[in-house]
Amino acid sequence: MRRRGTKTMIRLLESSFHTPAIKLRRLSVLMAIHNSPRLSQHKIAQMTDLSSSMVNNYMKKLQKEGFVSVTGKTNRTQGYHLTTAGQKELFSLILEYSAENIRWYSAAKTQVAERLQRFHSEGIRSIALFGAAETAEVVHAALKDTPLTVKGIVDSNPSKQGIRFNGFVVQPPESLKEMNADAVLITSFARQEEIHGCIQQVLGSGMQVRKLSDFWEATS
């Protein structure tokens, strides 16, 4: 959980699902300079997961294009700063990057919602979510496009319990007893069998348990 007032450094090249194209590399370098103007090229390379030679090439090109200016004459005093044009370029790339991610998110939400609709046709009217992770964000958003009711969300990780999550307070697994949901959906892709066992321990083997991963196995 991020503290108020702290700056989050987004590591754009860290995702295994984004191809490191030229635009993404430019955005990553520009963002590193924006967040920390006093960084050396070596440090920028570490933060952007690029080689030092590649960062050097991008810096030369960005300076030539008028997006980056250099101050200081020695390595110890040298700093990189975004010009006004550089600030506009950074903002433009952020918008483009965000729009692309929103398209991916929207497509994923639609796919999940289509599969959740089957729950209703099977007689399920309410569900509880197990797992307060990023995937649960997509599931919860998709559920708004279905007639299903969310009874609550639980997580076995004590550090997540008590935290607000999309209008719900994350509860420990034992709270499933009070939720009276028709089924429990495991929203995590990790430790699914362990979570399934935990649900059975709390609610017994008669409870309907579904896994997010099963959605795609059923149509493959």
> Where in the chain do CATH 3.40.50.720 domains reside?
107-217
The distance from CA 110 to its chain's CA centroid, rounded to whole angstroms, is: 17
The CATH code of domain 13-82 reads 1.10.10.10
What is the pLDDT at residue 76?
73
Number of helices (H) and strands (E), helices first, in the chain?
Answer: 8, 8
> Where in the chain do CATH 1.10.10.10 domains reside?
13-82
What is the average per-residue pLDDT within 90-117? 89
Query: How far is 74 from 175, CA to CA, in rounded Å?
Result: 61
What homologous superfamily is domain 107-217 in, according to CATH? NAD(P)-binding Rossmann-like Domain (3.40.50.720)
Q: Name the CA dihedral angle for 133, 184, 169, 113, rounded to a multiple of 10 degrees.
A: 60
Residue pLDDT, tens place only, 50-77: 999 999 999 999 999 999 999 887 767 7
Q: Are 40 and 14 in contact (CB under 8 A)?
A: no
Residue pLDDT, tens place only, 6-26: 344 445 555 545 556 888 899
Residue pLDDT, tens place only, 146-163: 999 999 999 999 999 999
Region label for 30, one of left (φ > 0), alpha (ψ between -120 and 50) or beta (otherwise) = alpha
Q: Is the pTM of this model over 0.85?
A: no
191 pLDDT band, cuts 50/70/90, is: confident
